[in-house]
Structure 1
């Protein structure tokens, strides 16, 4: 998967936005085209290879049974159906030989405007002054803050897990 010798042209380019410098909690965002993250992962690795070097590890903060956070429901003020668990933001830590990044995974069904704005915010890219103060910007900002909080929780949990002798070397 990492023995990349050339690039292939994709019908749907990888939607990825990275910050110029790695931060503490979120370094950018990836927006898969479908709900099948596994099928799009090789293309993501290929794109990240240029920035990170050979990708040596990928960790996620979710299990296959967990639902995703619906970003558009935050925008519209929609509420979850009583009795259902609201998902948390999905994060992915991609470690390369030269650098690592933590990505917010934007749900594939997110509306175009919100998804693009969340990606810009996650990568620390400039946002037009006319967009700031709009409900969609407020939502993107809120999503990023929720993701940063989740990232801090995930890092603390991972540090606590790897600190115990019984779990040393276990990937999560």
Structure 2
């Protein structure tokens, strides 16, 4: 299978296949419809290493968004990340903020449309993580991030 390389501006490279992600992201999105609720879905990453996790996530999200231009994240929840990464032959700007709502990540396309995803902490129990992601993606769900994370506890 042909491999595609993704890299950060620091020269760090990540390999991924042309036709899909190496590790299918654990992701659930609400249907593409008028937005309601606090989040557009949930993502349960495998680690807290954003540069490793993003290429596969953005490959999947690009199907809905088209080209991804920018990702916003909470600086306190991820290991150090570069300011931009090359993913799917496009540079994506990574903006970490202290004030980014906890347990969320924003993904913006080239037209300014945004998906706000609940980030389920990587160390969450599998059954609980599944319940949280399913609840966050329910079409009529309007729960807050804190409320979703307490699902099943």
Class of the TM-score when normalised by the shorter of the 2 chains: 0.5 to 0.7
Aligned length: 107
1:101 matches 2:115: yes
C-alpha distance 120-6 of structure 1, shift in aligned 2 (>3 A)? same
Corresponding residue of 1:49: 62
C-alpha distance 142-94 of structure 1, shift in aligned 2 (>3 A)? closer
Corresponding residue of 2:98: none
C-alpha distance 146-52 of structure 1, shift in aligned 2 (>3 A)? same
Unaligned runs of 5+ in 1: 67-87, 127-140, 148-172
More strand by share: 2
Asked whether the equivalents of residues 122 and 144 of structure 1 are also in contact (C-alpha less than 8 Å), the reply is no
More helix by share: 1
Asked whether the equivalents of residues 29 and 105 of structure 1 are also in contact (C-alpha less than 8 Å), the reply is yes
Corresponding residue of 2:52: 39
Cα drift, residue 25 of structure 1:
1.8
Deviations 1:85-135 (A, max 9, x none): xxx741111111364210001111100110001000111169xxxxxxxxx
Instruction: Specify the structure having the higher radius of gyration (Cα).
Output: 1
1:19 matches 2:11: no
In the alignment, the residues of structure 2 paired with residue 15 and residue 125 of structure 1 have an alpha-carbon distance, to the nearest angstrom, of 18
Corresponding residue of 1:91: 104
Unaligned runs of 5+ in 2: 1-5, 7-16, 79-100
